[in-house]
Amino acid sequence: MLVRIWGTRGSYPVARAEMLHYGGNTACVEVRAGAAHIVLDAGTGLRGLGEALRREPVPGGRRIAMLITHTHWDHILGFPFFAPIHEPATELAIYGLQRTQVSLRATINGAVSDPLLPMGLDSLAARLDFFELGDNAQIELAPGVLVRTARANHPYHALAYRIESPAGVVVYVPDTGPFHTVLFGDERVVWDGMPTTCPERLHTLARMREAMVALAAQADWLIYDAQFTPAEYTRFPHWGHSTADQAMEIAEEARVRELILFHHDPHRTDEELAQIERDQQARARPGLHVRAAFEGMVLSRG
C-alpha cells in the first residue's frame, strides 16, 4: 500500500511563504492498494496529482476511485483542475455521502457549472460514475481492497473512510468534531461553548465515537482532523473540527500505528505546526507514532 498526501490544509487554500513545508493546498490524499487507485477528497492538492499522473504510469490504468468525505469547498476545489477528467481514457468512479436533499452528482455539477464555473460535468471527456454511500457502508473496490465508512461529526454530515487491503490499512477522517460537546447534523448548530446536555444527542455522539474508533481499529495510518489548538477550540465556534489531543485520544483507543495530523488551520505556520508535532510526539503513548501531514508526504508498507 502506498499513500501520498497532495493537500493538507483545511477551510481554504493558502499561498504563503510561512506555509511552504506543510503546504497550502486543501485536502487530497492518494492511495494505491492492490489493483485499486484511490483518491480521498478533491481539494486543490488534486491538481498536483493530476500533473503527476501524466508522468507516471499507474497500475490499473486510467481507472480511479474518488472517495469524497463531503462537498464543502475545500474538499472539491481541485476537481475541475484534475487533468484526467479531460481525457477520454479516464474512468472516474466518484463515491460520496447519500443525502435525501440532493444527489452527489447534482451537488458537484452545480459547483462546476455556470454561474460558478463554465464547465459542467456533461462536457467532460472522462467517464464519470457516481455512487452514493451511507455512513455504515462496506464495498469492495478491487479484489481484497475494502472500503468502509463511518459518520464524522461535521456540519451537514460527512463521511470517514477506512481502506483495507492485505498490504495495509489507512483511515481518513479529515473533518470531524470531537464526540463530547456538540452533535452536528442537517441543521445549523450555534455552539455556545457548553457541551450539549440532551441525553439523546449524547447517546448518538457516544455511538458515533464507538463507530469511529472501530473504523480506525489497528490502522497503519490514521489521517485525522487536528485543525484547532485547545485554546482556539474553546474560543471559536468550531464548525466540526478537532484538536490534536482529541485526534490522539481516538488514535490511542483504536491502537493505530501512526497518527497523521491533518486539515491544518489556514493560519497555522510551518513553525507552529512543527511545534504541535513535537508536543504531540512527546505526549504520545509508547507505540503510537505521530506526525503532521505535509504536502508530498509518502506513507508505504508492503
Binding another protein (rule: CB under 8 A), the pick from 188, 197, 200, 282 is: 188
Binding another protein (rule: CB under 8 A), the pick from 129, 134, 136, 186 is: 186
125 binds another protein, rule: CB under 8 A: no
118 binds another protein, rule: CB under 8 A: yes
- Indicate the residue among 181 and 280 with the shorter CB distance to another protein: 181
Binding another protein (rule: CB under 8 A), the pick from 111, 128, 217, 274 is: 111
168 binds another protein, rule: CB under 8 A: no
Part in contact with another protein (CB under 8 A); list of ranges 30-38, 115-123, 247-255, 279-287 = 115-123
- Indicate the residue among 7 and 168 with the shorter CB distance to another protein: 7
44 binds another protein, rule: CB under 8 A: yes
- Indicate the residue among 195 and 237 with the shorter CB distance to another protein: 237
Supply the minimum distance, in Å, between the C-beta of residue 61 and another protein: 26
Binding another protein (rule: CB under 8 A), the pick from 240, 248, 277, 294 is: 240
- Indicate the residue among 140 and 186 with the shorter CB distance to another protein: 186
* Residue 230: cis peptide before it, omega within 30 degrees of 0: no
Binding another protein (rule: CB under 8 A), the pick from 69, 71, 246, 280 is: 71
